[in-house]
Amino acid sequence: MKILVINCGSSSLKYQFFDMDSNEVLAKGLCERIGIEGSKLTHEAKGKEKYVVTQPMKNHQVAADLVIKALLDPEYGVITDISEISAVGHRVLHAGQHYSDPVIVNEDVKRVIRECFDLGPLHNPANLTGINACEAAIPGVPQVAIFDTAFHQTMPAKAYLYAIPYEYYEKYNIRRYGFHGTSHSYVSRRLIKVAGLDPNNSKVIVAHLGNGASISAVQNSKCVDTSMGLTPLEGLIMGTRSGDIDPAVIQYIAKKEGKTVDEVISLLNKQSGMLGVSGVSSDFRDVKKAEAEGNYRAKIANEAFEYRVAKYIGAYTAAMNGVDAIAFTAGVGENDHIIRSNVCKYLGYLGLKLDEEKNKEIRAVEAEITTADSKVKVYVIPTNEELAIAMQTLELIQSK
């Protein structure tokens, strides 16, 4: 069986096409600059040359049609008939409080995605456009929506409620939702498996550390808390996002700098985090290099990042009254052994003992990095959100 995975942004459409017998990527690509000048499709199929199409794409419909055409192309494609596409899995940002599992798209699901436009103003409209475009391009093929918020829907009220007047939760659904759900779900499942834990009696923490970063507490395979909130701005320090902050800072900056609330929120999303503190870059590799060259602000940016991750691990250990295993994942978590080591230095009180030599060697492969006598196991587990979406899509259509 073959599954197409689609991730639509406001002016982009990313895709990966999987053979689910081998979990192999047969083809992948990107349509960029949709709706603006300079639209381009870049398509790469296994064992074939890169294929680039530069032609105007006035909307996502044109982009989806080009993707299907590329998959069918006699020279660069990987299928000979569209009936070889068994289903399409769409990454969708926000389902509000509606779905905790993947769903086959119907009019009701589309209504929910539409109702959540306010909660995901940049992503949800693009995600819906992508679904409609695929429906038109390959009619009759099941379209599955996999929501970034779904995995976190099991959080209890004490974890998801903000301590603001309750009427705002009732009127506007203001609460913690959490994001990166597909990654937290996939990595926590892998972690429970490789650490030999009981899915129904285990306490694990997943640290998804990339440009966007979030952390979650997963008890008995269910999410009980996560660091991102109503939007992805809350929680850890990220590439350009501040993470946790005193809300009064927003008013203070707005007054001092003559900015609107929207402008300050944009500043907290786009010019803060590692970039804002270090003044060097939002990319962790650049900040690490600058620290090695003696840059003080780069050093405190790294220290603040590690400190916040460690504080969240401490908080989530308390939330679950213990922790059996911790996973590091995403760009930084999978690759940066120094950050992993520095975070783990805060956690000796848990009986966690990092195997420094092993930790140094591990990059982007699944492996344990603690010693045999460590009370808490730590693993590096590469995340693969596209494959996870394809697997969940397959699981759902096979269960129907």
Selected range binding ligand ADP among 45-53, 105-113, 121-129, 330-338, rule: CB under 6 A = 330-338
The number of residues in the chain equals 400
Query: 77 vs 333, which CB is nearer to ligand ADP?
Result: 333
Closest CA to 178 of 227, 223, 247: 227
Q: How far is the CB of 6 from ligand ADP (least distance, A)?
A: 17
The CA-to-CA distance between both ends of the chain, in Å, stands at 15
Using the rule CB under 6 A, is 330 a contact of ligand ADP? Answer: yes
Query: 77 vs 229, which CB is nearer to ligand ADP?
Result: 229
- Interface residue with ligand ADP among 229, 239, 273, 276 (CB under 6 A) is 239
* Token digits of residue 237: 């320090």
Using the rule CB under 6 A, is 76 a contact of ligand ADP? Answer: no
Using the rule CB under 6 A, is 336 a contact of ligand ADP? Answer: yes
Sheet holding 13-19, edge to edge: 51-54, 40-45, 24-32, 13-19, 2-8, 85-92, 143-147, 103-104
Q: How far is the CB of 232 from ligand ADP (least distance, A)?
A: 10
Sign of CA dihedral 330, 334, 339, 344: positive
Closest CA to 385 of 329, 319, 304: 329
Q: How far is the CB of 211 from ligand ADP (least distance, A)?
A: 4
Site for ligand ADP in 193-212 (CB under 6 A): 210-212
Closest CA to 121 of 283, 264, 226, 265: 265
Using the rule CB under 6 A, is 285 a contact of ligand ADP? Answer: yes
Q: Is 65 a catalytic residue?
A: no
Q: Which of 148, 225, 324, 336 is catalytic?
A: 148
Using the rule CB under 6 A, is 328 a contact of ligand ADP? Answer: no
Using the rule CB under 6 A, is 30 a contact of ligand ADP? Answer: no
Specify the pairing of strand 203-209 against strand 325-329: parallel
- Interface residue with ligand ADP among 44, 65, 283, 366 (CB under 6 A) is 283
Which amino acid type is present at position 146? I
- φ/ψ of 329, rounded to 5, equals -145, 175
Selected range binding ligand ADP among 258-266, 331-339, 340-348, 353-361, rule: CB under 6 A = 331-339
Using the rule CB under 6 A, is 332 a contact of ligand ADP? Answer: yes
Using the rule CB under 6 A, is 347 a contact of ligand ADP? Answer: no
* Token digits of residue 153: 């829907």
Selected range binding ligand ADP among 96-104, 163-171, 279-287, 367-375, rule: CB under 6 A = 279-287
Using CA atoms, how far residue 279 sits from 95, 152, 249, 306, in Å, is 35, 33, 19, 18
- Interface residue with ligand ADP among 178, 229, 235, 331 (CB under 6 A) is 331
What is the rounded distance in angstroms from the CA atom of residue 222 to the CA atom of residue 228?
16
Closest CA to 11 of 50, 39, 47: 39
* Token digits of residue 336: 């940066």
Using the rule CB under 6 A, is 173 a contact of ligand ADP? Answer: no
Query: 255 vs 363, which CB is nearer to ligand ADP?
Result: 363
Query: 71 vs 228, which CB is nearer to ligand ADP?
Result: 228
Using the rule CB under 6 A, is 382 a contact of ligand ADP? Answer: no
* Cβ(385)–Cβ(183) below 8 Å: yes
Using the rule CB under 6 A, is 148 a contact of ligand ADP? Answer: no
Q: Where are the alpha helices (DSSP H) in 178-228?
A: 181-194
Using the rule CB under 6 A, is 65 a contact of ligand ADP? Answer: no
Query: 2 vs 288, which CB is nearer to ligand ADP?
Result: 288
Question: Which residues are known catalytic residues?
Answer: 148
Give the binding site for ligand ADP (CB under 6 A). Answer: 210-212, 239, 283-285, 288, 330-332, 335-336
